[in-house]
Structure 1
Amino acid sequence: MRYQRKPEFYKVEIVGVNKNTKLGGGLYSIHVDKTLDQVRKTDVIVIPLLCGNFPLAISKNEKYKHWVISQYNRSAEVVCLCVGSFFLASTGLLRDKSCAVHWAAKNEFKTMFPEVKIVDDTIITDERGIYTCGGGYSYLNLLLYVIQKHLGRDIAILASKMFEIDIERKSQNAFAIFMGQKAHGDEKVLKAQELIESNPTASFSVDQVCEKVGVGRRTFERHFKKNTGNSIVEYVQRVKVEFAKQLLEKGEKTVNEIIYETGYNDIDAFRKVFKKFTDLSPIDYRKRYAGG
């Protein structure tokens, strides 16, 4: 704020259970400004990301839960960075709310917290004073978003320029690698998933998938969607797009050759499907990731 000769808007403090906490097997320590019992009221809580074993990390941070819940109930906003959302969800504050989840953590998050509405296409959610983001460095965009809400667009733009952050990045689709949900225990659905994933160049119809798995179409389509989050058609499309992305990254074949290799005869149709899941055209995807 000093560039506008204005007083500081935020007073940032690190808050912890104890004054000093050793981490990394004692290699370094975190020294906090205040302990939880010293903060009776705050305006904004920023929850950092968790690493490693999420259930274990949640249990180790159990002492923070009541404090976060009580502060939120006293009108504090909660800004959650990346997979810190696992801890936030464990408090119950995300129940029936939307939460941006990193694409690689989506399946595990869904299994642990089925009551939360997962958002994995956009990078930011804003619902009833709770903000989440999907992706480690997406927290920069989330912070700009919160700054804009508190201080206005002009200050957010200034912050984006000072720290060289793309303020308009809204989606994680261009970064996501499709990972089908397989922790559901339905053997028939698993068999269908394995069939589709093992044959990315095949042009399976829904009837063909059902026939090969040995199930009736109507009931199976419903089970497949429930367990994977995708219809059979969408699952086939996602597998083909992922296959095409790998070929585009290698840069050895033309875009049209790759499209035909995925089993599509209609180039425009594939381009639409590709953009639907990546927010990029095949050509733009190649420019971004093929290098050279």
Structure 2
Amino acid sequence: MKHVSILVPHEAVLGTIADPRYLFTTVNDFLTAAGQPALFNIQMVGLTKEVKLNGGIFSVHADQLTTEVKKTDLIIIPALGSDLKVSLELNKDFIPWIIEQHKKGAEVASLCIGAFLLASTGLLNGKECSSHWKTANEFREMFPDVTLVDGRVITEEKGLYSSGGANSYWNLLLYIVEKYTSREIAIMAAKLFALEIDRKSQSPFIMFNGQKKHEDEPIKRAQEFIETNLTEHLSVDDLAVKFAIGRRHFDRRFKKATNNTPAEYIQRVRIEAAKKMLEISKKNVNEVMYEVGYNDTKSFRTVFKKITGLSPIDYRNKYNNEAVVA
């Protein structure tokens, strides 16, 4: 039997505690209905016996304290509250326990921005991790030794799992269920919970918001210039000259401040503007392409699909209910 320890952190998102418990319990029901023994022994594990959430509106009662769990097989780290520094401070006593259990062979899975607590253990250093795209800049700033792949729904490396943002954690839970049971059971769970199995990317959901929480004022001005001059011919050489910084130095400073090269930033800003037009306007794809500074259809479509995972037409059909397909 697999021992599953679902953490009950302070300031956690309630659904990311209740949903894993519900899913693993349901899988046990599937197995027993098929004449097989239940696989998962599911326990809520906390630092205190009762944890109040959402300002005390809800409370979760832990089955065991971390001090009482000597060995487990799988640790689920739920998503934390929006003030991540406060949440990490409140839950720092989970960290040595997670490290100890991982050394004993436990696998650890973080859901959404539970990745911040997992990264705080140091276990992810030198490894890839996914999380919510909205907190990507904050994550990279706090954990520079972790490679954040914010477009990915699932990462797995040496017994450490992470999931993309919001409801993407369901895909990670299905992935773990399939690994521990079978494809058949995972499909049954996906159908029961009306989930799209095997979703690999959260790229279509990402809203690019350039990192401006830095102190490099010339680079910040360069970012603002790019954002307000989308239709202009924007070359990195011209930007470096405009802001009186040598080209190579400009590249390095821009990348350090924003986590993007200048060329990547120009592309991301243009594609974000294109996405918004495709979502709400009746303009066709070519009209949108010209309005965000592209003149070559093939280039625009290639960059758009690379960033969003969808073609411009597919993106338009997904989000614009009055879409006029070009």
Q: Sort the TM-score into its range (normalised by shorter chain).
A: over 0.9
| Partners of 1:6 and 1:125 in 2: CA distance | 30
- Residues 17 and 35 of structure 1 are in contact (CA less than 8 Å); yes or no, is this contact kept in structure 2? yes
Give the ranges of 4+ consecutive aligned residues of structure 1 lying more than 6 Å apart after TM superposition: none
Unaligned segments of structure 1, at least 5 residues: none
Could you tell which deviates more after superposition, 14-23 or 55-64?
Answer: 14-23
- Residues 251 and 286 of structure 1 are in contact (CA less than 8 Å); yes or no, is this contact kept in structure 2? no
Are 1:17 and 2:52 an aligned pair? no
What's the secondary structure of 2:59's corresponding residue? strand
Are 1:164 and 2:194 an aligned pair? yes
State the shift of 1:140 in Å. Answer: 0.4
- Residues 200 and 262 of structure 1 are in contact (CA less than 8 Å); yes or no, is this contact kept in structure 2? yes
Give deviations 1:78-101, integer Å, cap 9, x for gaps. 011000111111122222221102
What's the secondary structure of 1:30's corresponding residue? strand
- Residues 274 and 280 of structure 1 are in contact (CA less than 8 Å); yes or no, is this contact kept in structure 2? yes
Q: How does 1:10-159 map to 2 (within 5 A)?
A: 10-159=40-189
- For 1:47, the aligned partner's letter is I
State the shift of 1:196 in Å. Answer: 0.6
Q: Residue 206 of structure 1 corresponds to which residue in structure 2?
A: 236
Give deviations 1:111-149, integer Å, cap 9, x for gaps. 111111111121111011110011110110001111122
Are 1:244 and 2:312 an aligned pair? no
| Partners of 2:185 and 2:122 in 1: CA distance | 33
- For 2:214, the aligned partner's letter is H
Q: Residue 6 of structure 2 corresponds to which residue in structure 1?
A: none
Q: Residue 273 of structure 1 corresponds to which residue in structure 2?
A: 303
Q: Residue 178 of structure 1 corresponds to which residue in structure 2?
A: 208
Task: Give the root-mean-square deviation of aligned CA atoms.
Answer: 1.4
Give deviations 1:261-291, integer Å, cap 9, x for gaps. 1121111210111001001111111111112
The number of residue pairs the alignment matches comes to 292
State the shift of 1:3 in Å. Answer: 4.3
| Partners of 1:26 and 1:162 in 2: CA distance | 31
Could you tell which deviates more after superposition, 211-220 or 137-146?
Answer: 211-220
Q: Residue 2 of structure 1 corresponds to which residue in structure 2?
A: 32
- For 2:53, the aligned partner's letter is L
| Partners of 2:33 and 2:236 in 1: CA distance | 60
| Partners of 2:169 and 2:294 in 1: CA distance | 37
Q: Residue 190 of structure 1 corresponds to which residue in structure 2?
A: 220
Q: Residue 231 of structure 1 corresponds to which residue in structure 2?
A: 261
| Partners of 2:183 and 2:65 in 1: CA distance | 33
| Partners of 2:34 and 2:229 in 1: CA distance | 59
- Residues 98 and 119 of structure 1 are in contact (CA less than 8 Å); yes or no, is this contact kept in structure 2? yes
TM-score by length of 1: 0.95
| Partners of 1:197 and 1:114 in 2: CA distance | 26
TM-score by length of 2: 0.86
Percent of residue pairs bearing the same amino acid type: 48
Unaligned segments of structure 2, at least 5 residues: 1-30
| Partners of 1:213 and 1:150 in 2: CA distance | 55
